[in-house]
Amino acid sequence: MQIHISTEQALPAAAEQFADAIGSRRVFAFYGAMGAGKTTFIKAVCRAIGVQDVITSPTFAIVNEYEAAGGIPVFHFDFYRIKRLSEVYDMGYEEYFYSGGLCFIEWPELIEELLPEQAVRVEIAEQADGSRLVTFD
């Protein structure tokens, strides 16, 4: 599936479209260059699924926890600052990835070998015109 985000104003509708496609899938690995809009898109998806909290980047915390509509736990990870896989083991990543909650993971390439087999690969690419293309299965 592809979602084209032509402008920042189109972001909420794009996030709704993504949220509608989540289904029973729970772990989403977001790939994209620095500045592609991974965090911005994840924040919009969190809003689309009913997160009421202030949504911030987990760059320094590694994981932020939220609650979506219906009490569904949402875990937003940013592994950009991970230096060793042992850090991810120490944080108890399995408890998050296999909890049944929604997991949105930035910089998954740094922990590729730990991703669940059923993780959905989401690619966000900036286009020549400044728009974004979100691609996932």
> 3-state SS string over 11-54?
HHHHHHHHHHHCCCCCEEEEECCCCCCHHHHHHHHHHHCCCCCC
Q: What is the pLDDT of residue 80?
A: 95
In the structure encoding, which two tokens stand for residue 74, read together?
Answer: 């949402």
pTM for the whole structure: 0.95
The candidate with the shortest Cα–Cα distance to 30, out of 98, 77, 92, is 77
Please choose, from the candidates 46, 53, 52, 56, the residue with its C-alpha nearest in 3D space to the C-alpha of residue 101.
46
Identify the pLDDT of residue 60. Answer: 84
Put the strands of the sheet holding 73-78 in their side by side order.
2-5, 132-136, 120-126, 27-31, 102-106, 73-78, 63-67
pLDDT at 75: 98
Q: pLDDT 10s per residue in the chain (137 long)?
A: 999 999 999 999 999 999 999 999 999 999 999 999 999 999 999 999 999 999 988 888 899 999 999 999 999 999 999 999 999 999 999 999 999 999 999 999 999 999 999 999 999 999 999 999 999 98
Q: What is the pLDDT of residue 59?
A: 84
